[in-house]
A = this chain, B = another copy of it.
Amino acid sequence: MSLLSDVLASVFTRNARRALPPPDDARSTEALIADLLSSNAEVSGMTTAAQILDRYAGFDDAARIAFFDHLASDLGVDFATTRSALDAFEADPGPRSYGAFLKAAEPARQELARRLNRVPGATPQLVAMRADLLRLIPRQDARARIDLDFRHLFASWFNRGFLVLRRINWESPAQVLEKIIEYEAVHAIDSWDDLRRRVQPTDRRCFAFFHPAMPDEPLIFVEVALTKGIPGSVQRLLAEDRAPLAAEEADTAVFYSISNCQDGLAGISFGNSLIKQVAEDLAAELPDLKTFVTLSPIPLLTRWLQEEGTDPTTLDDAGLRAAAARFLLTAKRADGLPYDPVSRFHLGNGAYVHAVHSGADTSAKGMAESAGAMVNYRYDPETFAENHERFARAQEVVASREVRALLKTPAPA
């Protein structure tokens, strides 16, 4: 019943939105923004906010850049006001002086975003606005600082506590499923039949985080294969003619693909929570699942080997595995973190390097990037915290004994 009402409510709200287009307004966008930020906003704000959003939606890139210019130049922090508010607060640190300081230190564009968000359906539009910002304003540009305001707000709005984990399967709405096809970033889904093979068989699972204000838009999703034993080949894992395993017979859950869906939520990290929540839920549902691993690409292996002067195509299986282990355990960036981005993600989550495989991804992309090598990162609840600690404090890459042993393999002459 509550469910029904929720959805009715949002359906009606959406309709209401569409049915009442804001009246044309001759004022400039800057004037509309000023109006929305004025005290008037409680009463007429919804209409003004809707107008701004509709106008923005119609902007071309140049107009959007001008819009961001306005946010950066005119809706920021006033240095003098902030400084004197800080002084007054330090002199007499009570509620009133603190309030004045908080108000001064927060740029008006944050309040603008909150007021825009009051319009039904605004949240995905604001997320898209940030995606525009990241696309149109270079990172080094001083105006790029306004991204910090979006990011600050979105980190608060998309707090883990507000996200809902949903299973994606063949009963999911087509409009959600087509987004899975669109956003899959690791192993492309090339048709609805391919999609079905990822979500329908008894030994396949897919989970996504959603936000209640964007119910049709997955934020991030993970594809899971249930297996007996830890797999060493993604082609075998995804083989069309594979006989599906009954879920109850699996002992291992393999996170073989994890994809972010929203460019406008870049830097708001959901992956760690997603993997752990899914692992917990699967463990509760299937008590025989004992092992949680990834089957991950090593996207920079070829490049690094070439930089090192090695032609990966000359390596035999043993040589490739040794090279991959050396890469994962020893190749670092200037800041001491692993060279490989996938590695940084999983090690940062507290996983460790469990095994490396040759001949594991024989697709064109897999051969080009890593000569077919892949890696299992293992998520073990018992060692999460310690692994993370060692990685965070000392950039230490934890690996299984087997992988460490590979380091002792003599490098190819």
> Contact residues of A with B, CB < 8 Å?
1-10, 12-13, 15-16, 19, 39-40, 42-44, 46, 77, 79, 82-83, 86, 89-90, 93-95, 98-99, 101-102, 105-106, 114, 117-120, 122-123, 139-140, 142, 144-145, 147-149, 152-153, 155-157, 159-162, 164-167, 170-177, 192, 196, 210, 212-213, 215-216, 269, 272-273, 276-277, 280-281, 284, 348-350, 384-385, 388-389, 392
Contacts and interface: CB of A to CB of B under 8 A. Distances in A.
A168 to B, nearest CB: 9
Contact of A384 (B16, B43, B114): B43
Contacts of A164: 6, 9-10, 212
A1 B11 CA distance: 12
A119 B122 CA distance: 26
A43 B385 contact: yes
B148 A99 contact: yes
A29 to B, nearest CB: 20
A162 B212 contact: yes
Contacts of A15: 284
Contacts of A173: 1-2, 170-174
Contacts of A13: 165, 277
Contact of A349 (B19, B42, B106, B153): B42
Contact of A2 (B1, B8, B281, B284): B1
A156 B159 contact: no
A196 B349 CA distance: 40
Contacts of A42: 269, 272, 348-349, 388
A174 B175 contact: no
A176 to B, nearest CB: 7
B170 A172 contact: no
Contacts of A159: 114, 117-118, 157
A77 B105 CA distance: 11
B174 A43 contact: no
Contacts of A350: 43
Contacts of A99: 145, 148
A257 to B, nearest CB: 19
Query: Which 5 pairs from chain A and chain B are nearest by CB?
Result: A212-B212, A98-B145, A118-B160, A105-B105, A43-B388
A12 B281 CA distance: 8
Given A94-B145, A139-B95, A148-B99, A161 B122 contact: yes
A90 B86 CA distance: 15
A4 B5 contact: no
B119 A101 contact: no
Given A3-B3, A6-B166, A94-B142, 13 more contacts: A2-B172, A9-B164, A12-B281, A40-B392, A43-B384, A44-B384, A79-B89, A79-B90, A94-B140, A99-B145, A114-B156, A170-B174, A172-B174
A364 B210 CA distance: 46
Nearest to A281: B12
Contacts of A122: 161
A43 B213 CA distance: 26
Contacts of A118: 159-161, 273
A343 B117 CA distance: 28
A328 to B, nearest CB: 20
Contacts of A148: 95, 98-99, 102
